[in-house]
Structure 1
Amino acid sequence: MSAINYPVVGAPKPSPAPVDGSVPLRIEIRQLQQNADQWNLYLLGLDAFKKMDEKSDLSYYGVCGIHGRPYRPWGGVAGHNNVQAGWQGYCTHSSILFGPWHRPYLALFEQLLYGIVHDIAGQFPAETKARYQAAASTFRIPYWDWAAIPDSGDYFPNAVGGSTTVSVITPKSNGQAVSMPNPLYSTTFHPLNPVQGDFAPLGRTPYNQWPTTLRYPSSSRSLNATSEEDQVFDAMATQFAGLQQNINILMNDPNYKDFSAFSNHLWVPDSVGTEASLEDVHNSIHGAVGGFMGHMSELDYSAFDPVFWLHHCNVDRLFAIWQALNPTSYTIRERTQDGNFVTQAGSVETSSTPLTPFVDASGSKYWTSEGVRRTETFNYAYPETRRWAFTSESVYENSVANAVQQLYGGLSNQFSGEEAFNLMSVRPTDAATAPAIEEKVETAHSTSTSNASGHANGAASGPAQKPVADTSAGFHPFHNLVEKVKGAVPGLDPKPEHQTQRGGLDLEKEIGKPAAPVPEQPRSYTEYIVNIKAPKHLLGQSYRVHIFLGEFDSDIRTWNTQDALVGTFAVFGKETAPGSDDETKCGKCKDDAEKNTIITGTVPLTAQIIGEVKKGHCGSLEKSNVLPYLKDNLHWRVTLADGTEKNRDEVPGLVVSVVSTEVALPEGNRPKYSGVYMVHPEVTAGRPAGLGAGAETTPGA
């Protein structure tokens, strides 16, 4: 192998190491805010990390560059594939190695940031040094769980996008809080565009002239563009229901017990029931946070946005949770259609394929998927994956399954347990006889609500914060009645109304006198899903497929955030045509395009359909009502990277279809997916990019 400079070992265990074999936990960012000392050190450390010399491989810029730009070798690791064409990086998208490769990548980031945090802790005055050093000893990078309902109501963390400044205590501030730029808000390039010969590391305009990372740039062309952070908050809240249900499906549907199905979005023929993937959901978050032309929306630049690390930490966590639920299914052997800087296209990727450029603790070998199987190898775990705390594998697996249901079972929870009586009112056999449930809604668009999770020691605050939902008053429509009766955990229906607050409900008025008898609990329901199949590089750039249910605004700039949006399928394509002004240096992408790599994704519809039933737009959740409704009201549109619309007829190979699968609710309230999917070609047939009349219509698994 080539030069071996930087073994990746993760942050060290506390000393002395715990006798139970436990390791420090990576925790959710809002939870980390509750630990004032660690939060303070995190902000100081991240700020210092980002100020390191960009020429160093161990700088923030150098580590982020592994993922894409500036297209330079890292750690002396030379490649052998498509050297003449250049490469996007060592990153393994559209590959079974997607999850395993990012694990040592995150461990490297955590290892370096931990070292900085530890050094800063040692610089505090004697009277507080020991306290900060104790906090530093168990520091791990946080994750942002974008698929679980946040107690604070901020579907995009206010600490990340709520303010451009934060308050911190520094080693030299005499214990007093001082203000500094929020290191989670953006990254400033210094210098902006270090020229290397004729090569511009940050690529084409505007990226090579924007001084900072942006989310939802106010202009896709102006060099003075600014971030429109409100759109990130709106986009995450609008698309939340579908994102959460996608995770529930991936963790529960038997079709995703195979790692190749769960891990990545590469299309497999005759795979009607496996078109979802962790990578596909991951793509949606990139697009929802970055917006049109935002840095997170382009893989070449995404790692420079600080939220990338929070996002990918959660992706790694979901990967670890899946491993806990499927302990014998981590099998890696797949022929890759594309390659990267060091992997030849068409080669077989296995558990021993090198995860370059990450060198293991020996200093002489690269990490492999088998080597990174356990997070404890890098001295961390997640709240759900504390294996050492359980007496047996079965008890541990049961605990993880319970956690998945609690965090991501919002939809299935509506069809079971104490909430069943409420759900039956939106699942009638005759819509005309369905009891109506009225809600008193008090809008809060003109009200500024403080961040419920803000803290003096570093929590972002200020007028840019989004209003947060009053979860105590019943944040979700179905949850209102149930919470007043039984104090149940909030469900999810139809998707969060992130700019409304609800006052108390008069149950007598809501239900009527006398109260209706509780109907028999439904024991199953139908899950409706949009499947999307698309060529990755056909359009020569990134593009998106927006899925709407019902009427939607024609203003394209609202498409990421408006209420009718169910979800977005993001495709990270590149221009591969020789001689083009935007021709990529990515050899991996050129291989992709040459082989016409096809990727897939899904957008669950059921939560949104429930909302349409409640509004009286759809008669019930039965297929006899839902399928005709979808035929008339399901819409999809395509946008390019800069937000302009692309005619759907001009995207050959794009196919949008609707499928359904049955979900049983046995005792214990965990959904049991049938694994059998029925295709409904009549819903999209005859429209641009709809499923053709000659497509397969038999049930598939």
Structure 2
Amino acid sequence: MESRIALCSLIILSAAAVTAVPYSPTYHFGFDAASLVKRQTQDPIIVTKLPLTNGTVPIRPEIRQMKQNPYKWNLFLLSMSMLQYTNQNDELSWYQIAGRGYCTHMSILFPPWHRVYLALYEVSRGQESQYVYILSPRQQVLFRLVQMIATWFTDPNERAFYHAAAADFRIPYWDWAAEPPAGEDVFLPDFESEGIQIYGPNGWQYIANPLYSYKFNPLDPKVFSQGDFPNWTETKRAPFEKTDNRSVAHSIEHARPALQQRLYTLLSNYKDYGPFSNKYWGTATNQSQFDSVEALHDAMHVLVGNRGHMYYIQYSAFDPVFFLHHTMADRIVAMWQALYPTSWVTPQVAMEHSFTMPPGEVQDVFTELKPFYANASGAFWNSEMANDTLRFGYSYAETIPGQGGSKSEDRARLIAAINRLYGSSSPSTLVQKRKRALARRDRGKFSQLRQGTLSDDVSPDFSREPHIAANLVTDENTYTEWIANVHVQNGALNGSFTIHLFIGAVPRDISSWSAAPNLIGSMNVFAMKNMGSANHVSGTVPLTSALMRVVSAGGVAGLDPGQVEPYLKTFLQVRVIGENGAEVRPSSVEGLCIQIASSEELFRSFSLFCFCGLGVNWSTQGRDILHLTYTIPTHTRHTEANMKLVRFLMKCANETVTIELKNGTIVHGTITSVSPQMNTALRTVKMTPKGQDAVSLDTMNIRGSTIRYFILPDSLPLDTLLIDDAPKPKNKARKEAERGTGGRGGRGGPRGRGRGRGRGRGRG
């Protein structure tokens, strides 16, 4: 009878949050559980497939969905707590799992490497079946702990329920892009409570919440040496004085619509794996796409961490939310793969090093994803082997094949799910509503903005859904889309930083910027401190929904370029926050370039800001072109300036390009004699001078250019080049693409995607 009462209580109060009662560090099972967790063998650790359940592939659930099953939820929290409390010197402890590793950033391998890192597996050795562990992945460790804990319930009825929950256990993901249930925040309250009440094999206990933080035992100041980290004995989020999860929740709530739009765009418009996969901005892939799944992933690192552990690449994996976040990233990749099954890892040069991959090495689908062994013979996993989640024994609700075996039906079901989950914030969805009533609020504020009477008290509020004016939509049910394409040097501020875009007056309080009503959006740069990376990364800030609000409230007449360009040049404000939380002048951020692009005109875009340490450059197209000849000496090939030039010219070899020099001169010509290796000097660059053999821009192919600017060797009098490329509009570019001349629809602006490389850190 007592066990039934406990079982009933479990269903009602599973893992209830408490803060008033002192909690113990972890759950006490009534015996020495730690000795059962310790790995007893030093054999190679192999990543293999988890067993199916009754012949079916279990799915990784969303964390809110897992909470609805109290048995799974308790097993998840108990296993997390046990793992975190394991001795830090143990190979299988949370501390060792979250430590230094081999992960790849700014790399074509970013998605598959992290997939194997997250993988579930089970391995057989002869007649004995046992669970074993890879050097870094946390998920398979949890699976084994879940199986063990389920057997420790002594009541037969309880044990049966927990066995059933454990049989198809898969780690959950946290969907930070979908609209949360009514009355709830995106940031779960389960992340905010320091202590929780939880039921286990030894009854109810109050323990430290394993989703709130990880507690170092002990803290090694030599490992956590920068800033206040040597003083923090647990992971922090927004650590202004102590962890401030509420400020994190507010920032994420405000950012969610833009994050959702970016995700929707990635899934709907990014059809090539290269630009989708990683944030590196440089050599060629698809030139109309600045965003990537890695850049989107970076935004959540910065938002959740906010100068806490998730904010720093080298410390991020210690935060319990890291795991839930990366599983969401893997789900995004899985959905994208289901939409575009013929596109996967393509060769790309590693621009920076990881523990096992030097810069300059070509990474491809067969590059070893170290340190993950695929079999006992010592072979490592590669991207070809890791291209299907089913090979690891899991799937997601949106990607699991249907019983009918129809790929078209599976794809249609996936598209419907994406539209349902992530379409609500997209401009296309707002257009479909065709709301004709003007917004009742903020009309006076927008009127003041339009008249130029801007003050600190006057700023629009973009937190509400816009009322779509009828004149925003054409008779063909199309509209002009606007986007800010941003690229910047990854190491510009020696660590992570954020670029904010506002309309109107910027609040005086810097700490309020991430949730300010008139914040249009942000680009978050997730960078390693003291690495000095000169490589460029890119991302996007959707502008259309915000501009629809401006139009509907009377701030500007419409979305046409002639109306929007002068408005944005007058009222769009750029602010940058550095790693220490202080404001940084945008002009001092190395390589910061913000291009505002629209989908209305095929050859129309303008650079709002292009900071190269030399001031602001407004980029416009010219019609006269010139011819230049320049030879780069081989003895200068190792300079950073030449490396940047090589990267650009490798893309543009044998192509007609247009370049704007710093003095406004427009140069046109064909790049020739470019060496194929990144570390080898190119020989000649040929172009024709202005006034000689002038050719109209109308006859030039300018869609092939990829780089907004690059630095020339010191021997040249001009050190900054700007390349103005055409945006790829949603409406017109689609027709061009069908003729083989245009880009992918829906996103404006050039996109130069390069080959990334791994960061020397186990997470991120």
Q: Same fold (TM over 0.5)?
A: yes
Q: Deviations over 1:621-652 (max 9, x none)?
A: 33333222211221211221110112222222
What's 1:386 paired with? Answer: 400
C-alpha distance in structure 1 between counterparts of 2:109 and 2:188, whole Å: 32
Q: Relative to structure 1, is the Cα distance of residues 600 and 527 closer, same or farther in structure 2, using a 3 angstrom cutoff?
A: same
Partner Cα distance (1:347, 1:413) in 2: 41
For 1:635 and 1:161, locate their aligned partners in 2 and report how far apart those are by CA, in whole Å: 33
Alignment check: 8 A CA contact 2:279 2:538 kept: yes
Name the CA distance, whole Å, in 2 between partners of 1:323 and 1:612. Answer: 36
Q: 1:137 deviation in Å?
A: 0.9
Instruction: Give the Cα separation in 1 of the matches to 2:423 and 2:487.
Output: 26
Name the structure 2 match of 1:538. 492
2:557 aligned residue (602, 619, 641) = 619
SS of 1:559 mapped into structure 2: helix
Native 8 Å contact 1:276 1:600 kept in 2 = yes
Q: Which of residues 94, 113, 123 in structure 1 aligns to 2:142? A: 113
Partner of 2:206: 179
Residues matched between the structures, number: 547
| Partner residue of 1:35 out of 69, 84, 88 | 69
Q: 2:371 aligns with which of 357, 374, 379?
A: 357
Distance in structure 2 (CA, Å) of the matches to 1:682 and 1:92: 32
Aligned to 2:389: 375
Aligned equivalent of 1:454: none
Q: 1:217 is paired with a residue of what secondary structure?
A: coil
Q: Which amino acid aligns with 2:47?
A: V
Report the residue type matching 1:44 in the other structure. Answer: L
Of 179, 182, 206, which residue of structure 1 is paired with 2:228? 206
Distance change >3 Å, CA 520–CA 529, structure 1 → 2: closer
Pairs within 5 Å for 1:280-359 = 280-291=295-306, 293-359=307-373
Shift of 1:497: 5.5
Give yes or no for contact 2:593–2:611 (8 Å, CA) kept in 1: no
User: For 2:492 and 2:308, how far apart are their aligned partners in 1?
Assistant: 21
- Asked if the contact 2:594–2:608 (Cα under 8 Å) also holds between the matched residues in 1, the reply is no
Q: Following the alignment from structure 2 to structure 1, what is the Cα–Cα distance between the partners of residues 139 and 603? A: 41
Aligned pairs for 1:547-586 (under 5 A) are: 547-576=501-530
> 1:370-411: CA deviations, max 9, x gaps?
111110111110110011434222221222122212211122
Identical residues among aligned pairs (%): 33
Moved more, 281-290 or 521-530: 521-530
Cα deviations by residue, 1:232-265 (Å, 9 ceiling, x for unpaired): 1111111112111111111111xx2111110001
Contact 1:26 1:140 in 2 (8 A): yes
2:253: which partner in 1? Answer: 237
Q: 1:58 aligns with which of 73, 92, 96?
A: 92
Q: 1:249 aligns with which of 265, 283, 288?
A: 265
CA distance in 1, matches of 2:511, 2:491: 23
- Aligned AA for 1:181? A
Q: Deviations over 1:239-297 (max 9, x none)?
A: 112111111111111xx211111000111357651111111111111111111x21111
1:650 to 2:588 alignment = yes
CA distance in 2, matches of 1:165, 1:616: 50
Secondary structure, aligned partner of 2:575: strand
Q: Give the corresponding residue for 1:150.
A: 180
Query: 2:105 matched to which residue of 1?
Result: 93
Matched residue of 2:253: which SS? Answer: helix
SS at the partner of 2:382?
coil
Q: Rg larger in 1 or in 2?
A: 2
Residue 699 of structure 1, aligned match among 726, 733, 738 = 726
Q: Shift of residue 153 of structure 1?
A: 4.6
Question: 1:548 Cα deviation (Å)?
Answer: 1.8
Secondary structure at the counterpart of residue 380 of structure 1: coil
CA contact (8 A) 1:531 1:603 kept: yes
5 Å matches for 1:10-25? 11-14=50-53, 17-18=54-55, 22-25=56-59
Q: Secondary structure at the match of 2:482?
A: strand
1:128 to 128, 134, 158: 158
- Cα 1:545–1:390 change in 2 (3 A) is farther
1:212 shift after superposition:
0.8
Say if 2:587 and 2:611, in contact at 8 Å, map to a contact too. Answer: no
CA deviations on 1:596-635 (whole Å, 9 max, x unpaired) are: 2111111111122222233332333333332222112212
Q: In structure 1, what is the equivalent of residue 244 of structure 2?
A: 228
Cα gap change, 1:62 to 1:683, in 2 (>3 Å): closer
Name the counterpart of 1:609.
547
> Which of 273, 276, 284 in structure 2 is aligned with 1:259?
273
Q: Is residue 238–residue 495 contact of structure 1 (8 Å, CA) maintained in 2?
A: no
Match 1:436 to one of 435, 438, 441: 438
Secondary structure at the counterpart of residue 244 of structure 1: helix
**2:481 equivalent to 1:527:** yes
Cα displacement string for residues 414-459 of structure 1 (whole angstroms, at most 9, x for unaligned residues): 3455x22x1xx2xxxxxxxxx435479xxxxxxxxxxxxxxxxxxx
Contact 1:657 1:679 in 2 (8 A): yes
Q: CA deviation at 1:332?
A: 2.5
Which AA in structure 2 matches 1:100? Answer: P
Return the alpha-carbon distance in structure 2 between the equivalents of residues 375 and 328 of structure 1: 16
Contact persistence 1:146–1:155 (CA under 8 A): no
- Checking the alignment, whether the CA contact within 8 Å between 1:280 and 1:600 is kept in structure 2 is yes
Q: Give the TM-score taking structure 1 as reference length.
A: 0.73
Q: Which residue of 2 aligns with 1:79?
A: none
Please say if residues 26 and 382 of structure 1, whose CA atoms lie closer than 8 Å, have aligned partners that are also in contact. Answer: yes
Distance 1:10 1:150, change over 3 A: farther
Unaligned runs of 5+ in 2: 1-41, 120-136, 443-459, 621-659, 661-721, 728-742, 744-764
Report the counterpart of residue 489 of structure 1 in structure 2. none
Cα distance in structure 1, aligned partners of 2:398 and 2:392: 17
- Residues 655 and 689 in structure 1, CA contact (< 8 A), matched pair in contact too: no
Q: 1:495 to 1:357 in 2, by over 3 A?
A: farther
Cα distance in 1, alignment partners of residues 87 and 366 from structure 2: 34
Runs of at least 5 residues in structure 1 that lack an aligned partner in the other structure: 66-70, 72-88, 219-224, 426-434, 441-492, 499-509, 577-588, 663-673
Moved more, 331-340 or 344-353: 331-340
Q: Give SS of 1:315's match.
A: helix
Please tell me the residue identity of whatever aligns with 1:680: F
Q: Which residue of 2 aligns with 1:140?
A: 170
Match of 1:408 in 2: 422
Cα contact 2:104–2:354 (8 A) shared by 1 = yes
Counterpart secondary structure, 2:596: strand
Normalised to the residue count of structure 2, the TM-score between the two structures is 0.67
| Residues 645-664 of structure 1: CA deviation (Å, up to 9, x unaligned) | 122222221111111226xx
Aligned-partner Cα distance in 1 for 2:412–2:142: 34
Q: Verify the 8 A CA contact 2:484 2:542 in the aligned structure 1.
A: yes
The code of the aligned residue for 1:43 comes to: L
> How big is the alpha-carbon RMSD for the aligned residues of Structure 1 and Structure 2?
2.9
Local SS of the residue matching 1:358: strand
State the shift of 1:202 in Å.
2.4
Match of 1:599 among 537, 542, 547: 537
